[in-house]
Chains A and B, each alone.
Chain A
Amino acid sequence: MEIWNPHFECMDRKGISRVQSERLRETVERVYFNVPYYRNKMQEAGLGPESIQTIDDIVKLPFTTKQDLRDNYPFGLFAVPMSEIVRVHASSGTTGKPTVVGYTRNDISTWSEVMARTLTSAGANKNDFIQVAYGYGLFTGGLGLHYGGEKIGASVIPISGGNTVRQIQLMHDFGSTVLACTPSYALFLSEAIQESGIKREDLKLRVGVFGAEPWTENMRREIEDKLRIKAIDIYGLSEVIGPGVASECMIQEGLHINEDHFFPEIIDPKTLKVLPSGSTGELVFTTITKVGLPLIRYRTRDLTRLTYDTCKCGRTMVRMDKCLGRSDDMLIIRGINLFPSQVESVLLEMNEIKPHYLLIVDRVNNLDTLELKVEVDEAFFQDKISQLESLRQKLQNNLESSLGLGIKVTLVEPKIIERSEGKSQRVIDKRKY
């Protein structure tokens, strides 16, 4: 198993800390003198650049949120004159203004470096054909993979997203060995390949690097089975740099964070306190090498857990768990954390049920209650009560065993639950605190 940059990726923990401390000091100095927003915030907290000496001092610094980026739209948090910016990306916001990010030439080179590590950890090298089916454009996915692919010397096919017929044709004719796209597109593509009549033996596909949206272990198994490849999870967000923030190695036991560039912390989203090592909480990043748009303690809203021991692959870079969900979505039911995505993955395993559902949380006699409304699939509906009853029971048992929570399941008529392309309301919390 190749490692792109063993000097950093396998550095001992003490060394990593030293590098992080030094880079944090430089970053804090840069934002203090170049970004009025950060200077004001630091002054309000009674901090100057000299207040930050080691990485442990990071907890003194204020957090940055997506709202702060919006409030300073478009370039207010940039730390260099626009003449130094060589690239701008933007992510479309579901509400209001997009989030704009800028890169200096040096930032682009950092991005290529972390993407080279990502692709190498997925087992790719200069002999590979990488089919980049992420969108190119304002979205960071396409170009991020592109630069990483070129950096490791692979042959990059910048096909971008969509046009499934051509994707399959080029995959076949060029002999693509690595596929990069979102996991949902990978699943879609796998079905399209089956329908196209092209034999799997005639494809050279070996591995997929998938990210940009949360996906479950079930989905991974499905992609791996259908495409007969290894499916590697990659993580990133444009505010931090784009893809390349973290990625799985071939061991697939968590995603290595490139922590010599992006320093991670886990906080309690309610109290904002840093949680002890090993706890699950909200992931926060400080970029410690970025020049164009450095971010201090940026709240990702993603929930995960960090593991600091050395991985079987040899890398010492801290690993994060596959993201469980967004902190905004987490429910606490009778003291147990629950994400709607966990319910969804149970539903996806059952063909008889459509993955359209509504979770209703309530409190009766001081006890949290949970009800799940799901639609019966017409293809499965036959007119026997016993059949519907056993389906309901089966779902209830599956949920209980995989979530550790009793849930009352109610079968409902179709189209009761609202559909939408983006985020539909999946949870109604009637509890009054």
Chain B
Amino acid sequence: MIIHQLSVFLENKSGRLTEVLEVLGEENIRITALSVADTTEFGILRLIVSDPERARELLKLQNFTVNLTDVISVMAPSEAKHYAKILKILSDIDISVEYTYAFSVGDKSIIILRCSDTENAIKALKSHEMELLKASDLYKI
């Protein structure tokens, strides 16, 4: 249930995001989800890709600072209340969500969560019968 998300340190200058995507594209690595968090000076690119280990090696060869981060992914109906419920389940057991992003497929949303305690977050969400996605499920989308 743990998904290895690729995190890439980026300076805020034009062209760097393109370079990352080109490096991955040349090796036919598929991107399921992408989000950028940034300040005025630097940013962190977060990616869910088909082969995170290989993507990491490829980017490292091109001198990017890269890390793999454990995240979890939940599929839920797109209504906001479902998203709210997920966050509530976690906050009730004192697990903080460091960041989250989502995208929708049809009438479902796929929610990516980075939690302070990944293992227990998975347990809690499962016990509330939330639909957790495996890495292999995600890469197929």
Chain A residues packing against B (C-beta within 8 Å): 376, 378, 381-385, 388-389, 410-415
Contacts and interface: CB of A to CB of B under 8 A. Distances in A.
Given A383-B46, A384-B98, A413 B10 contact: yes
B141 to A, nearest CB: 22
Contacts of A412: 11
Nearest to A411: B42
Given A388-B44, A389-B39, A413-B16, 5 more contacts: A381-B7, A383-B69, A388-B9, A411-B11, A413-B10
Given A383-B7, A413-B11, A388 B42 contact: yes
B104 interface: no
24 contacts: A376-B9, A378-B66, A378-B67, A382-B7, A382-B69, A383-B7, A383-B46, A383-B67, A383-B114, A385-B37, A385-B38, A385-B39, A385-B44, A388-B9, A410-B41, A410-B42, A411-B9, A411-B41, A413-B10, A413-B16, A413-B64, A414-B63, A414-B64, A414-B65
Nearest to A373: B11
A410 B39 CA distance: 12
A123 to B, nearest CB: 47
A308 to B, nearest CB: 49
Contacts of B69: 382-383
Contacts of A378: 65-67
Nearest to A386: B98
B99 to A, nearest CB: 8
A397 to B, nearest CB: 17
Q: Enumerate the 8 nearest inter-chain pairs by beta-carbon distance, A residue then B residue, closest first.
A: A383-B7, A415-B63, A383-B69, A381-B65, A378-B65, A383-B44, A385-B37, A381-B67
Given A376-B65, A388-B42, A413 B9 contact: yes
A15 to B, nearest CB: 61
Interface residues of B, number: 22
B53 to A, nearest CB: 15
Nearest to A408: B41
Contacts of A383: 5, 7, 44, 46, 67, 69, 114
Interface of B: 5, 7, 9-11, 16, 37-39, 41-42, 44, 46, 63-67, 69, 98-99, 114
Most chain A CB inside 10 Å of its own CB: which residue of B16, B67, B69: B67
Nearest to B38: A385
A381 B9 CA distance: 8
Contacts of A415: 63
Contacts of B99: 384
Contacts of A411: 9, 11, 41-42
Most chain B CB inside 10 Å of its own CB: which residue of A376, A382, A389: A382
Contacts of B9: 376, 381, 388, 411, 413
Contacts of B98: 384
Nearest to A379: B67
Nearest to A375: B65
A382 B63 contact: no
Given A382-B7, A382-B69, A413 B39 contact: no
A382 to B, nearest CB: 6
A369 to B, nearest CB: 15
Contacts of A389: 39
A383 B64 CA distance: 13
A7 B136 CA distance: 84
Contact of A413 (B7, B38, B65): B65
Contacts of B39: 385, 389
B65 A382 contact: no
Nearest to A383: B7
Nearest to B45: A383
B11 to A, nearest CB: 6
A414 B46 CA distance: 18
Most chain A CB inside 10 Å of its own CB: which residue of B37, B41, B99: B41
B116 to A, nearest CB: 11
A384 B44 CA distance: 8
Contacts of A381: 7, 9, 65, 67
Contacts of A385: 37-39, 44
Contacts of A384: 44, 98-99
B113 to A, nearest CB: 13
Most chain B CB inside 10 Å of its own CB: which residue of A376, A383, A385, A415: A383
Nearest to A410: B41
A389 B42 CA distance: 9
Contacts of A413: 9-11, 16, 63-65
Contacts of B66: 378
A119 B38 CA distance: 57
Most chain A CB inside 10 Å of its own CB: which residue of B7, B44, B114: B44
Nearest to A384: B98
A384 B116 CA distance: 12
A106 to B, nearest CB: 57
Nearest to B67: A381
A383 B42 CA distance: 12
Contacts of B67: 378, 381-383
A340 to B, nearest CB: 22
